[in-house]
Amino acid sequence: MTTVAWLLSTLATLCAGILGAVVWLAAPVDAGLQSLWHFFPLLSLFSALVTGFVGLALGAVVMRVRAVAPPRKLTFGAALICVAPWLFLMAKIK
């Protein structure tokens, strides 16, 4: 059950992160919050940050609880997806 929650939170992070990054790059947020399309990337990025943190926490729980660890490539990919919104935010803050 925890494995399903872990991978679903990773999938939610991936979807929100890609959607937020595409909309952010299409309509830069620096112009101000004049319309909903300027607010949407911020909301999507916030959602990706939260679900990414949850995905990392659930990944640690899955590693500890499961008798057989998930495949190493899956674990590495999920961790990379969960960290990606944080890296995107750090790149945009500079």
What are the CA-CA distances from residue 43 to residues 18, 33, 73, 86 (Å)? 13, 12, 30, 14
Q: Please state the domain count of the chain.
A: 1
* Residues 18/49, Cβ–Cβ less than 8 Å: no
Does residue 77 surpass a pLDDT of 80? yes
Q: What is the pTM of this model?
A: 0.84
Does residue 88 surpass a pLDDT of 70? yes
Range of the domain at 79: 2-93
Q: Give me the pLDDT at residue 1, please.
A: 81
Q: Give me the pLDDT at residue 75, please.
A: 94
Q: Give me the pLDDT at residue 14, please.
A: 95
Nearest to 44 by CA among 18, 71, 63: 18
Q: pLDDT per residue over 21-72, tens digit each?
A: 888 788 765 655 566 667 788 889 899 999 999 999 999 999 999 999 899 9
Query: In angstroms, rounded to a whole number, what is the distance separating the alpha carbons of residues 44 and 47?
Result: 5
User: DSSP H helical segments within 1-94, as ranges?
Assistant: 2-26, 36-65, 72-93
* Residues 76/37, Cβ–Cβ less than 8 Å: no
